[in-house]
A and B are shown apart, each in its own frame.
Chain A
Amino acid sequence: MSELLIEAGRTERQYWRDIWRYRELFYFLAWRDMLVRYKQTLVGVAWSLIRPILTMLVLTVVFGKLGKMPSGGAPYPLLVLCGMLPWQFFSAALAECGNSLVSNSNLISKVYFPRIVVPVSSIISSFVDFLISAGFLVVLMFWYRYVPPATVIFLVFFVLLMLGASLGVGLWVAALMVKYRDFRFIVPFVVQFGLYISPVGFQSSVVPARFRLLYSVNPMVGIIDGFRWCLLGSRDSVYWPGFVLTVVDVVVMVASGIWYFRKTEQTFADVI
């Protein structure tokens, strides 16, 4: 009944069955990451609020007050926060997911479970932080007495895109990091750089129209625009070719990420 075949080559059928069998491990590893993250800190979980608030203030001052960027009718802090939520999630998930296999190398080399549990649970734990920060967005909306438009129901779709983008890139980086620790240096650099080339502190409508499609190659552009469209109803954000490109981007990244991860995971224990 529970017979198992270990063979040189692939074990496709068992793979998905194993993921189902180890489903609770997703939760346990995410739970561990969250417990550990704020152990021996004074303010604990409050850090997942303090960081976005401070960043929001800085970006509002730099782009809104000093740069005098257009806000499309919404209060500038709200505009910034709507862009920052998906961006901070993406950067945190990428950093944690990328490191996840290497920092769990003791598990990888000593016990079996579907390896994909590790990067996925690191994304889950980043998502919890995202939800906490999203709570702050709700508070800020009350503060400004700002009622989101009906398009808010599409937010689910963009959250899924955001999760997909993080998972796709995260799986690539996690698998590559096992062999090439260089990515430990590349990831922080990309994250830092990405903050400026993604429309976090400003609206993507400030990008000249002829560059807009090229700009949308970065999947976070479509996702951040989508967040603003759903939450603030800002018409400037809507750029359909860009959205389509984002969806294609995300699908390709998730599919290729899973493919590459599956291809390399059998040697993780030998290489790590």
Chain B
Amino acid sequence: MNEIEPLAENILMPDCAIAIENIGKRYSIGHLRASDDGLRHKIENAIRSPLAWLKSSQRKHPKTEDFWALRNISFQIQKGDVIGIIGRNGAGKSTLLKLLSRITVPTEGRIRIDGRCASLLEVGTGFHQELTGRENIFLNGAILGMTRDEIVSKFDEIVEFSEISEFLDTPVKRYSSGMYVRLAFAVAAHLEPEILIVDEVLAVGDAAFQKKCLGKMGSFAQSGRTVIFVSHNVEAVRSLCQRAVWLKDGRLHQDGKTEEIIEGYFNSISDAVAFSTTNAEYGLTIQKVTLKNMSGEECGQFHPGDDLIVEISYDAEKRVERPIFALGVLGVGGSCFTSNMLLDGHRPEYLEGAGTVTCTFKSLPLLPQSYTVNMRIQAASVKEIIVPYQEVARFSVVGDLGEYGYRGEYAAWALRSTPVVVPYEWRLPDGTTAAVALSRRSN
């Protein structure tokens, strides 16, 4: 390419894999009026046109509202970088990936990509239910941009990785969801691009498989290739990426070392999460997840030793049999503790209509930091996930380190250690004992 504007040429470093320059994507939303939906409405509007004319002259507002899913985003990714993109739902992560993988075009700005690029926004894109595993490997490979020869040469590896060799000639519609995902990821994992763009694909599959996927991505990254990784799973971002970009409301909020970004991300509690989700297949809506303190008030701030009550409000249109709830509390340093019906065996017989499930974590043994609550709901079959593991609420713990019994010279370093504290006692060689415990009474 020789007709690059001088500006761009100045910016682009020689070993830059991706340069994003002032990119923006606008969607028209808001009054998504019937007029945009079909021909009938076009015709209808034409017939009613005199009336519509009057209306539009009265109100000057256009029918559609512009919504910038992304705006003024600029950053560069060096070759060999493994970069994580984090942010809330709706922050523009997926839009950015769609722009990078050329599924949709930017409204303004530009992106320069140097190297063969493959993107994985979904596991099993283009799989056809009626086709066999073997046929789908070829089809999916071709759709992801592999040539026929490449697929043939990697075929055995793909089959081995997916562990489905016995079912190679069975239509994938007869596969279990686990087999399906394994096969789909196996194909994608054997793409050999210089730049790999991955969306939340790790949210599926069982734990062992997720580990395998992460391992594959890790080795991919270690071989010096560029990876762009988007995830809600902050743990995965932490373990894979050196650098992270934090998107917030369509803007680039912060860009830097993963540790710092994640800390900032966790600390941005001020804007409380209003979580709600619906799984249409199961007819289950989680209306909200609220955190309450011991007196039953909604609360975002706790003291060490307080009880934390997580209240999950649901509305089940259909009867959901024996669902499995799991909650996890995560801090800056990672997962702290969980409550999981899969482990303790207590499950509701069924959910029907509106109701709540609450879980009380007794006397929080946490340091004064920010935490998130993640939740997952699995169906009775365990394999089927009704609500994938994700962040549903946030809270912070406030308190003085002295209350924890931390009175040493370097007590402030506590915030860099693990956030979970349990009472302990030292017995020293001279026979003295020293108990370290929360001084706050937990009532």
Contact = CB atoms under 8 A, between A and B. Distances in A.
B439 interface: no
Interface string A6-33: 1111000000000001101100110110
Given A107-B125, A110-B121, A5 B1 contact: yes
Given A2-B115, A36-B130, A269-B103, A107 B1 contact: no
B39 interface: yes
Nearest to B125: A110
Given A7-B106, A269-B103, A40 B122 contact: no
B112 A106 contact: no
B106 A8 contact: yes
B33 to A, nearest CB: 14
Interface of B: 1, 27, 38-40, 98-117, 119, 121-122, 125-126, 128, 130-131, 135, 138-139, 142-145, 147-148, 171
A75 B201 CA distance: 62
Given A2-B115, A36-B130, A28 B138 contact: yes
Given A113-B143, A113-B145, A180-B39, A269 B98 contact: yes
B142 A36 contact: no
Contacts of A113: 143, 145
Given A3-B112, A7-B111, 18 more contacts: A2-B116, A3-B113, A5-B1, A8-B106, A8-B108, A8-B109, A28-B142, A29-B142, A32-B131, A109-B103, A111-B103, A111-B119, A111-B126, A112-B101, A113-B145, A180-B38, A182-B39, A270-B104
Interface string A107-133: 111111100000000000000000000
B147 A4 contact: no
Contacts of A108: 103
A151 interface: no
A235 B103 CA distance: 52
A210 interface: no
A270 B103 CA distance: 9
Contacts of B108: 8
A181 interface: yes
A140 to B, nearest CB: 33
Nearest to B146: A24
16 contacts: A2-B114, A4-B113, A6-B110, A8-B106, A8-B107, A8-B108, A24-B148, A29-B142, A36-B131, A107-B126, A107-B143, A111-B119, A111-B126, A112-B101, A112-B103, A112-B119
The residue in B113, B135, B143 that gathers the most chain A C-beta atoms within 10 A of its C-beta is: B143
Contacts of B144: 111
Contact of A35 (B106, B111, B121, B131): B131
Contact of B106 (A4, A6, A182): A6
A39 interface: yes
B111 A6 contact: yes
Contact of B102 (A6, A28, A267): A6
B408 to A, nearest CB: 54
A181 B36 CA distance: 11
A6 B99 contact: yes
| The 10 A-B residue pairs with the shortest CB-CB distance in the complex, in nearest-first order | A28-B142, A112-B102, A7-B110, A182-B39, A6-B111, A4-B113, A110-B125, A269-B104, A39-B130, A266-B105
Given A3-B114, A5-B1, A111-B125, A28 B106 contact: no
B40 A22 contact: no
B105 A8 contact: yes
Contacts of B147: 24
A22 B125 CA distance: 16
A49 B295 CA distance: 77
A155 B112 CA distance: 48
A22 B145 contact: yes
Nearest to B132: A35
Contacts of A28: 138-139, 142-143
Contact of B112 (A4, A22, A31, A36): A4
Contacts of A111: 101, 103, 119, 121, 125-126, 143-144
Interface string A175-204: 000001110000000000000000000000
